[in-house]
Structure 1
């Protein structure tokens, strides 16, 4: 993509149900303006996250109406765009967003047909150079923390050990499934609250990380390391899952809370907790499922709805970052700012370098085609 005359970024209001985050904060605007990027902020864009228009203006942004989106060659948002949002974009716009392309194939097709260059913040390669752009990690950190707070709130039990004149109250037992960013934050938070924490993960590297936070690693007999590309867990066979479920059922039967975080980018979440495993849990216990948006790690999970089964509540956690919109926006806005800086050359012109590893790894649509191989395959192999 050739350099344009100037780098102008538009950040608008989010219209998705329950979405309170925003893709820019006054701090990130100040940073971007200092880098030579013109920033247009739609009136009221940050209100739900606690950032008012005056703060944006004082940081150097120009406050505009929604129609100004057509004036900016660079657009940043949080949630995947709707088909109506796509139609509002000018052809050749560069869009940065959390896209979840495997769940939004119709939107991907529309972006491609519109000629949009789409950079998915959730496909940023997990390499050292991209750490400041890694939005999945920044938002997962919040999810892991919030999951424990929600679990503690949902239980009629103390998390820590209490020794009183009336007797001893034993600490809550928490099982965390998946020791990625969200899982490790959940371990750390649960330990800070005084819970006994057991952790399951199919990646050998997770063992030491869990131990360093005070958690106890759950052993599955005859397991092979299942570390996949980019440090994510790879898919495993049904035989392994059966053995894992047998071990987990024993731990879940003694747990007061289970927090599930296992996800595989671009694929449905693996089912780790069956209905029978839920039925083995104690009445009054809770399951917090952070993989709800991708189908859930629990067979009974319903995104957006709390399900109660045999006295156990299954709580979806797909909206936890939005429930902490101020902090989540601050982190996400820094991710966006770092990516924007990568897209601006030394003369403050917008330039999309398709040879750059981060750009290439995040690019889903460009030049009227779907450039992400797996997404193109899901669409029938028409592009890429």
Structure 2
């Protein structure tokens, strides 16, 4: 069985450097907020061109820190896509907010501008006071963020970009992490830039937001130790994880180039085969980090049977996401856009992700695409 995401090949390439970095941490003994944390933050700032970076304990905690910085209060509404991982809505709920679920574009999987407008209208009808919008760069590409910011500005809403999957992508020559008021990402091992545990980061060009987030990730600590300005959390990243990410960031640009070449090769193979699937599309002016290569199967194709047959041929697949968030038990009580999230419902029934990582070979892709084509056609 081939790997869905092959971290072993990457580790083999940089193992000596990672061992050296970890050894350095073990020698100086600053396991929490050691010098590697600030070094990583500086490197991420250079990479993203975002002025203020705060590394933290996970992508979910980065979202929480972002919402705390933006002043989210109980019962405040936040527009979020339902076709995403739970943490996007979960972070809103953890602060007592109200996630207002919107639909996504069928071609890009990202939040739909028209559905945002429908949500704004519906929120007024339901008496929900909206404060912001969380966009999600699902599967690797950013949203059409300028259009969303324009809608947000007209309606006096902030925008927070959840770039857990899209860090490394770009939009109109700006890197993810630097597209709106606040951006966040995850360094979960399977992400395009991942550590060997949990980790995340908060990005902003606003010093006020950064200072609040920095305080909040240290239990709300003020300028003096054991004096607290606010209720916070334990949101620190481990020094060892920061040390690992420093080395991984050095090869990240080359990995992004490889991912893009592999995604294009996947597309060419399926187009040459005339496979009856819908391929992922990247919006004009954007690049994708290709966290996943996600296709849409025809509804006539039994997805579970497709997965079983692919596995029999040694090819792993994954379904992101089989049940939309607004249909999950803890979230059913929250409001949804008046368009009823039809695209979200459809995508949850037909999407499937194929192996994707920077060290996949063209030979692997030829094999995967041929097997997938034969299963679908038969």
TM-score exceeds 0.5: no
* Structure-1-length-normalised TM-score: 0.29
Larger Rg: 1
Bigger helix share: 2
- Greater RCO, 1 or 2 (C-alpha within 8 Å, sep 6+): 2
